[in-house]
Amino acid sequence: SQAGNILVIAPISKTAGVAATLTLTASNDITIGAAGDIQGFSGTGLSVTLNANGDFDGAGNISVDGSIITDSGDIVMTATGGTIFVSGPLNTSNALNGGGDVTLTADAGITINGAVTTTGDAGGAVSLIANANADEEVLVSLKNLLLF
């Protein structure tokens, strides 16, 4: 979209092949719309990396309304100077390979209203990192977390 933003409004699917990584880097904001599901169903994993404020000039926010399902791939989101808001599910589960890791890093807050699931042979790690100046408070809110 305009002004260095990325808007995903249609599904992105990986259904075959070896493990892969999908990386989206925006100068400003990244929005995954409700119909913009990102899914990897190949048995080998699709890692997903979202980088907002990739030019480090101002703030970048990440908003995820659709689902991100990686089939053992990792999910990494970085919102430099901004916030991360997740209402859709994040799922890194794979019964044979174990769940991938989920790492969310934001300078101004993280809110998760969707489920975070990292199950399988070994569940992945979940890291929520809220960076702030020493005189600021940063909100990290988590509604639903399932680890096995």
Contact between 128 and 102 under an 8 Å Cβ cutoff? The reply is no
Contact between 50 and 28 under an 8 Å Cβ cutoff? The reply is no
DSSP code of 101?
P
Q: Mean pLDDT, the chain, as a whole number? A: 84
C-alpha span between 25 and 44 (Å, rounded): 23
pLDDT per residue as tens digits for the range 115-135 = 888 876 667 888 888 876 545
Left, alpha or beta for 58 (phi > 0: left; psi -120 to 50: alpha)? left
What's the predicted TM-score (pTM) here?
Answer: 0.88
Residue 1 confidence class, pLDDT cut points 50, 70, 90: very low
Structure tokens at 46: 């699709």
Instruction: Give the pLDDT confidence score for residue 24 in this predicted structure.
Output: 96
Q: Is 10 helix (H, G, I), strand (E, B) or coil?
A: coil
* Phi, psi dihedrals of residue 74, rounded to the nearest 5°: -85, 155
pLDDT per residue as tens digits for the range 60-106 = 999 999 999 999 899 999 999 899 999 999 999 887 777 889 999 99
